[in-house]
Chains A and B, each alone.
Chain A
Amino acid sequence: MKVDRRSFLRAAAWIGLGLILGAGVGLFLGWVAWPIEFSDAEPAVMEERFQADYTLMIATVYLEENDLSTARRRLSGLGKEDTGRWVLGLAVDHILNGETEAEILPLVKLANDLGHFSPIMEPYLFQIESTQGS
C-alpha cells in the first residue's frame, strides 16, 4: 500500500504532539503529583536542623554513658566528611546563640573527645571536668 508522504508527516506530527503532551503529564505526575515516597533514608538526607537535633541527642547520651564508639557509629549515619568538625560547629553555634547548658555541655564534651577544640569551649570543659570529678 502506498502511503502518501503528506499523510505520513501529518500522522507523525499528531503522534509527536501526543508524545510531548504525554511525557509532560508523565513527568508532572512522577515528579510533582505522585513522586516516589522516599522512605528508606539515612540521617544524612535529613534537613540540617534535624541533623543538628540528632547530633544533640547523640551528644546527650554520650555525656551520660561515655561510650565514644557508639557515638561515632551513630554520627557516621549523618554522612559528614569530618564529624568532629560538624560537632564542633554545633557546639560553637550553641554557645554563641546562648542555648542552655543542658545542650551546650554534651556538644562541647563530644566535640572535645572527638579531637576538636575551640577556646570558647574551655569554661564548659572545666565545668564538665569538675562535675565528673566530684
Chain B
Amino acid sequence: MLGAASLVLFGLIVGLVVGLYYAWLVEPVSYVAAGPSRLSDEYKEEYILLISQSYAADGDWEKARRRLENLDDPNVANTVALQLERNLRNGEPAQILNKLAIVAEKLGSRSSAVALFVPSRGEPVLTRPSQERVSATTTLLPTPTNTSRATRSAAPSSTPTEKPSSTPVPVFRLLKQERICRRNTPIPLIEVVVYDAFLEPIPGIEILVSWEGGSDHFFTGYHPENGKGYGDFTMEPELFYRVELADGSTPVDGLQIENCGAEIGGFAGGRRLTYQNTDVQQGSSGP
C-alpha cells in the first residue's frame, strides 16, 4: 500500500503540471501596459527607425536617447548598427540609412557601415552643386573622353561668377570606362570606383542602376577589400543597364554582360566605370 507521502507527492506533481499548463498555455499573463522592449523585432525596427527620423527632424538627442533606453537593450549601439546593415542589404534609400547611421554613431558604434554614412572629420566631404563652388584642377588626370559634360569656366575667386542654372550640373565626371574579364571565372559586374577631386577614394556614394522594367542602387565602400571608393552590381544576361551617380553624373547607357575572349576561358565579363568628383569644397573653416 502506498504511503500518504507518496500519494501527496503524486498529486503534487500532477497538480504542478496542470497548473503550469494552464498558466503558460491556456491563460497566460496578458500584458496590457508593456514598454517598447516587449515589441516584436519588426516593430522594434520601426521604433528605432522612428527615433532616428525624429532625431533628424528635431535634433533633440536627449529625447532620442531616452527613447532608446526604453528598449532595455544593453547593446543598443550594436542593435542600431545591425539594423543599418540589414537596411543596406535591403536597398533602403540613403536618407533612411543616413539617419540610422547618425544615431548609431552617436551611440558610439564604429562599424564600417556607420563609417560609410557618417564620415569622420578627417575624410573628404562631398559637396553638392552650388553657386559657390569652383572647378577642380583638371590637370590631375588626363582629359576625360566623355565630351557631353557641361563645361564650366568659373575661375577660383572669392566672388562666385557662375550663374544659377535650372539644369543640374554633373558633380562627377567619368574618367575611365574599361572592360573587365577574369581568367576562367565569370565576372558579370558593373564595377564603379569613385574618387574625389584629389583622387582619394570616396565611400558612401550612391550609384543608380536602371534597366528596362527595373532599377536599383548601390553604394561605394561596402567592399573595403577593393578600396573605399569601390562598389559593384551584378548584371543579369540579356539586359542593358544605365548607370549614373545619384549626386549627379553623365549617365552611361547600354552596359551589358559581354563574353570575354576564348583565350581566357570565354566567361561573362563586365565593365568598370571610374568617376572623379569635380567639386572641391571652399576652404572655409571659419565664417
Interface residues of A (CB under 8 A from B): 7, 10-11, 14-31, 35-36, 38-43, 45-48, 50, 53-54, 56-58, 60-61, 63-65, 74, 77, 102
Docked pose: A60 CA to B13 CA in angstroms = 55
Chain B residues in the interface with A (C-beta under 8 A): 1-2, 4, 7-24, 28-36, 38-40, 43, 46-47, 50-51, 53-54, 56-58, 60, 67, 70
User: A residues within 8 A CB of B40?
Assistant: 39-42
List 10 A-B pairs, minimum CB-CB distance, nearest first.
Answer: A26-B19, A18-B11, A30-B23, A22-B15, A14-B7, A23-B15, A22-B16, A22-B12, A19-B15, A57-B50
Do residues A15 and B29 form an inter-chain contact, with CB atoms below 8 A?
Answer: no
A10 to chain B, nearest CB (A): 8
Q: Is the CB of A30 within 8 A of B24?
A: yes
Our pick among A28, A43, A46, A60 for the contact of B54 (Cβ within 8 Å) is A60
- Name the residue in A14, A18, A21, A40 with the highest tally of chain B Cβ atoms < 10 Å from its Cβ: A18
Partner of A30, one of B22, B38, B51, B57: B22
CA distance A77 to B36 in the complex (A): 13
Of the candidates A24, A31, A46, A63, which one forms a contact with B36 in the assembled complex, judged by CB atoms under 8 Å apart?
Answer: A46
Give complex CA distance A53, B64 in Å: 11
Chain A residues contacting B54 (CB-CB under 8 Å) are 56-57, 60-61
> Judging by beta carbons under 8 Å apart, are B53 and A57 in contact?
yes
A17 pairs with B11, CB closer than 8 A: yes
B1 touches A7 (CB 8 A): yes
B11 touches A15 (CB 8 A): yes
Cα distance A47–B35 in the bound complex, in angstroms: 6
B residues less than 8 Å from A20 (CB atoms) = 11, 15
Chain B residues whose CB sits within 8 angstroms of the CB of A40 once the complex forms: 40
In whole Å, how far is A6's beta carbon from the nearest beta carbon of chain B?
12
Which B residues lie within 8 Å of A48 (CB)?
A: 33
Residues on the B chain within 8 Å of A53, using CB: 67
Residues of the A chain whose Cβ atoms lie less than 8 Å from the Cβ of B57: 60-61, 63-64
Given A26-B22, A60-B58, A63-B57, verify A35-B15 contact (CB < 8 Å). Answer: no
- Known A24-B15, A26-B22; 7 more pairs at CB < 8 Å: A19-B14, A21-B8, A41-B39, A41-B43, A46-B39, A60-B57, A61-B54
Q: Which of B8, B15, B54 has the most CB of A within 10 A?
A: B15
- B24 and A21 contact, CB distance less than 8 A: no
Chain B residues lying within 8 Å of A36, measured Cβ to Cβ, are: 24, 28-29
CB of A35 within 8 A of CB of B53, answer no
